[in-house]
Structure 1
C-alpha cells in the first residue's frame, strides 16, 4: 500500500509517484496509464491501445444489454 498526497500541478491537481510505485506499475516519465473504475475504487494499468479498444466495446455492450446481464447475474 502506498500513501500519496494530492498537490497542485499548474491549474490542475495531481499526485507524485515514487520510483518504487512507477516500477511496480511498469511505467515511467511520458508513459500513459489507463484508469479503470472498479467496484472497489480506481485501478491504474499501463496503457495498452488494444485493451482500451476492447474495454470500450465491452462497456457499450454492458450499457446496451444491462437488463439481460442483470438477469444472467441472478442465476
Structure 2
C-alpha cells in the first residue's frame, strides 16, 4: 500500500506519485491515467488504454440501443 498526499498544484489539487509506482505501472511524464469506481467501493487508478476506451464506447452504445431488452432480462 502506498500512501498519497493531496497537494496544491497551481490553482488545482493533485497527488504526486512516487517513482516506484510510476515504474511498476510503466508510466512517464505526460502519460494519461483513468480513475474508475471499483465494484467493492473506492476507486481504481489505471494507465490509459485507448483500446479499452473504444470497447467501452461500443458497450455503452449497445446498452443504449437495447435498454428495454436488458431491463426485461433483468427481471
| TM-score over 0.5 for the pair | yes
Structure number having the greater helix percentage: 1
TM-score by length of 2: 0.73
Higher deviation after alignment, 59-68 or 1-10: 59-68
Deviation (angstroms), 1:57: 2.9
Match of 1:4 in 2: 4
Consecutive unaligned residues in structure 1, runs of 5 or more: none
TM-score by length of 1: 0.73
Output one character per residue of 1:19-53: Cα deviation in whole Å (capped at 9) or x when no partner: 01111222111111122222222112111111112
Corresponding pairs, count:
71
Consecutive unaligned residues in structure 2, runs of 5 or more: none
Match of 2:33 in 1: 33
Larger Rg: 2
